[in-house]
Amino acid sequence: MRPKIVFSDFDGTLTLGESLSPILFDIFEILQKNNIKLVPVSGRSISWGHFFLTHFPIDTVIMEGGGVIGYHNSKGLIDHEFLIDDQEIGRLEGMAMEVRKEFRGLALTADSVGRITDRAIELSVLSELGVKSEVEKFWDKHGVSHSCSNVHMNFWCGEFSKIKAINYYLNKFEDGVKLEECMFFGDSLNDESVFKGMPYTVGVSNISVVLNQLQHKPKVILEGPDNAGPRGVLNHLSNVLK
């Protein structure tokens, strides 16, 4: 199927491990040639989203795991739509303080200063302190949502997810484009809501690391080192857009 819009996770999917690779620019090129929009759907902060909107050929981003949509408005300026209300944003601020009181030495990610609708903790910090499952229990006890990307444990108050944000975006910004006319690429646990809710999803081959932890798997699962991260995205798009 030739997609009308390509949605994609960023870390591990459009990046090769932790590196930006030149392949990303080949992906931009093939999509631009085919007049197909790319919308990153990432757990990274909205501040990262500003970078994408400013420096890449991208006009919309879904960031913070689906908590916020960033886009160029009709004047060409960057604008936002937050998908949770101010009350939940305020509760999150309080919970971010509480967790640090409860777990001594636990710091939030440096990019948490640029986050509005969620906060994050480095997975490496959680494993160093050996408190990952205790922190998860703490969130569950306080009714705080959480999920893990390749690099972070993200947490937030209120209801949002990558798939909810994609549906919201299609309804509000892409009048007439249906979910089944789109494609999604991902590689991690925080992509599961999309694997569950969207018909055409593709897992790049490095998803193999978390595949057995996913209840809902992508429709297409790429295999082999030549299909890791952006290589898999480019190969799959090249096949589909032949």
Quote the least distance from Cβ 27 to Mg ion, whole Å: 15
Query: Taking Cα atoms as reference points, which of 234, 179, 236 lies closest to residue 30?
Result: 234
Does the footprint of Mg ion cover residue 88 (CB under 5 A)?
Answer: no
DSSP label of 79: E
User: If binding is defined by CB under 5 A, does position 187 make contact with Mg ion?
Assistant: yes
User: Based on CB atoms, which residue is closest to Mg ion, 60 or 190?
Assistant: 190
Q: Rounded to the nearest whole angstrom, what is the least distance from the CB of residue 148 to Mg ion in the complex?
A: 10
Q: Nearer Cβ to Mg ion, position 12 or 88? A: 12
How is 175-213 classified by DSSP, letter by letter? TT--GGGEEEEE-SGGGHHHHHH-SSEEE-GGGGGTGGG
Size of the site for Mg ion (CB under 5 A): 6
9 binds Mg ion (CB under 5 A): yes
- Which segments of 2-62 does DSSP mark as H helices, in order? 23-33, 46-55
Q: What is the DSSP letter of 32?
A: H
| β pairing state of 152-156 and 5-8 | unpaired
CB of 154 to Mg ion, least distance (A): 12
Site string (137-176) toward Mg ion, x via CB under 5 A: -------------x--------------------------
- For Mg ion, the binding residues (CB under 5 A) are 9, 11-12, 150, 187-188
